[in-house]
Chain A
Amino acid sequence: MADYTDYEKIEKSAKVRQTVRKTLIYIFLGIWALVVLFPFYWMILTSLKDYGEYANEIIPKFFVLKPAVENYTSGFTAVPLGIYLLNTLLFAVATTGIVVIVTIFSAFAFARLNFRGKDLLFTAFLSLMMIPNELVIITNYQTITNLGLRNTFTGLILPSVTSVFYIYLLKENFEQIPDSLYNAAKIDGTSDFKYLFKVLVPICRPTIVTIVILKVIECWNSYVWPRLITSNEAYYLVSNGIQEIRENGFGRQNDPAMMAAVVIISVPLIVLFLIFHKKIMEGVSRGGTKG
């Protein structure tokens, strides 16, 4: 390393290599972006194709000149997609609402209140996190059936309104708020209830938003439980609805109409995502697991 004479050359070749590397990275990322986006493109494209033309395509066209909008209207007339959407919305809002309330109360009890057996109970809660849904769903199915709650919203919602994971997440966050705030509130004569909703909840809003995001996505994708518990189309959610449409809906080969239905049920979450993508991605990485 005594002199720098060859470094000019080294620097130059390093620059070239750098440019090549960058280009390769962009190409790689671009290709995967295409792989991700293509199904969405294809779904929209197919949904706009006229059924008659589509059925006769040998090599599918990559564009449509005359979009067939009737595919979309038939999603609401030939099959009750509107009802499915409404059901899912109701299911998502109700479940998420109850989950948030239950979670806030429990997290507060674990984080701020003292009672005998608290540590033991919390450990018991945590160990429940290990239990997969598949294990308890069998009895829950029997329970709901025996209670005569099949094909009701109550039956749909009840088993999924408590999540130990969310309680854990929020409890951790509550505990980060310094004791002094709680003591100050006590001295001012604030009740626990008021402290919880006027101080803790606003401060921990990001975590609660995270919980809402995760739960809404989960509800929108929920398939197994609704399938078990509903046999009446009037209570189908979008996942069962789309499966029903596929198996008995427009006739097996009417792919354009089916894709229109897929677009319709995909749009709400995607629009939400495009608006709040920063928040949603942040929320998911803060505490999310899928599956």
Chain B
Amino acid sequence: MERKSKKAWLYLLPSLLFLAAFMVYPLIDVFIYSVEEGYNSASQSFFGYGLYNFSYVLHDPYFIQAVKNTMILVVITVPLSTGFALLISLGLSSIKKLRDLFQTIYFLPYVTNTLAVGLVFMLLFKQTQQSPGLVNIFLGLFGIDPVNFLEGPYWAKMFVLCFYTIWVVLPFKILILTSALASVNQDYYNAAKLDGTSKFRTFTRITLPMISPMIFYLIVTGSIGAFKAYSDAVALFTTDLNAAGMNTIVGYVYDMLYGNSGGYPSYASAAALILFVIVLTITCINLLISKKISI
């Protein structure tokens, strides 16, 4: 037994070492950082302990902007992408021809580099001196005035960011929902068909309840993912997100740590902890709602 025990720990050794060094220790450390006031990275010294870092971050207009941006992003993209993915999955599951082809196409964005393809989107929306950009030309066909999407009004920038985020997260959601729909036993649909159940009623009374666990899973993971948005924004608005007014909470954390305004791990830690608390709260609310509904 003793020998066995030793062997087990040996098998676990690599993961234990890595986790301790790069997960557990940093986790403790982030709390310490967050309460060390006036930390200086160069001299690695600080004045004392307190909650000043949190207060600083919470009063920083850049942080408030970042929270606002992130919240809007979550509130818009999570329901829209989930709903849209559901529509597409329903469409996919009701056809036979070309189904595999469509599925493969829809999945393509998942395997692309977010930053690289973000540049293509930037190009599509970009206004230059010669050209109003492809999207504006397209909108012009419908008589809509050109909009400076990337450097213009806030809502326009937000629209591009949301659009790109949805484009990026849809493949995963479509995949999950399509397989959830496929796993509903065909007999239920046959039973409903024999009873003359209308398409709409079949959807609301049978399909939806059966796949609702998956929908909630997507909403929970989707919210967490959207709260951590960063690289999509970088792709569209360059690394200086504060200047574009399009920073996200994660972006703020990294900016505090590194880059032009960097060198403040204490502020970064405080901001990261605030993010963690927000995500945890939202996730708990999501879970509570999902439990209420499924009972």
Contact = CB atoms under 8 A, between A and B. Distances in A.
B11 A39 contact: no
Contact of B21 (A46, A143, A221): A143
Interface in A3-49: 22, 25-26, 28-29, 32-33, 35-37, 39-40, 42-43, 46
Contact of A162 (B18, B29, B230): B18
Interface residues of A, number: 91
B179 interface: yes
A273 B111 contact: yes
Nearest to A35: B167
Interface string B86-115: 011001101100100011111111111111
Interface string B232-255: 001000110000000000100110
Contact of B18 (A143, A161, A243, A272): A161
Interface centre among B119, B226, B269 (most CB of A within 10 A): B119
Contact residues of B: prevailing secondary structure: helix
B14 interface: yes
Nearest to A40: B108
Interface stretch (B56-64, B142-150, B205-213, B272-280): B272-280
Contact of B30 (A25, A121, A128, A138): A138
B94 A56 contact: no
A288 interface: yes
Contacts of A113: 4, 7-8, 11
A72 to B, nearest CB: 15
Nearest to B131: A58
B162 interface: no
A239 interface: yes
A104 B72 CA distance: 41
A224 B231 contact: yes
B134 A42 contact: yes
Interface centre among A59, A135, A223, A277 (most CB of B within 10 A): A135
B155 interface: no
Contacts of A159: 18, 22
Interface stretch (A63-71, A176-184, A198-206, A253-261): A253-261
Contacts of A239: 113-116, 231
A266 interface: yes
Contact of A59 (B137, B169, B176): B137
A143 B128 CA distance: 44
A46 B280 CA distance: 43
A102 B14 contact: yes
A101 B293 CA distance: 41
Contacts of B25: 139, 143
Contacts, number: 258
A106 to B, nearest CB: 4
Contact of A135 (B137, B258, B276): B276
Given A25-B94, A142-B265, A284-B172, A277 B104 contact: yes
A57 interface: yes
B9 interface: yes
Given A136-B27, A139-B25, A143-B21, A114 B272 contact: no
Contact of B114 (A109, A192, A223): A223
Nearest to B20: A162
Nearest to A274: B104
B30 A242 contact: no
Contacts of A42: 120, 123-124, 134
A89 to B, nearest CB: 13
B169 A290 contact: yes
Given A25-B91, A109-B11, A135-B272, A58 B130 contact: yes
Given A284-B172, A285-B175, A36 B95 contact: no
Given A142-B265, A192-B7, A259-B119, 4 more contacts: A106-B12, A115-B4, A136-B27, A291-B228
Interface of A: 22, 25-26, 28-29, 32-33, 35-37, 39-40, 42-43, 46, 55-60, 101-103, 105-106, 108-110, 113-116, 118, 121, 125, 128, 130-132, 134-143, 158-159, 161-162, 164, 167, 192, 217, 220-221, 223-224, 227-228, 238-239, 242-243, 246-247, 253, 255, 258-259, 262, 265-266, 269-270, 272-274, 277, 280-281, 284-285, 288-291
28 contacts: A25-B94, A26-B98, A56-B130, A58-B130, A105-B15, A113-B11, A132-B224, A132-B228, A132-B276, A139-B25, A142-B265, A143-B21, A161-B18, A162-B15, A217-B111, A220-B113, A221-B231, A223-B234, A224-B231, A238-B113, A239-B116, A242-B119, A270-B112, A272-B111, A273-B107, A284-B175, A290-B110, A291-B224
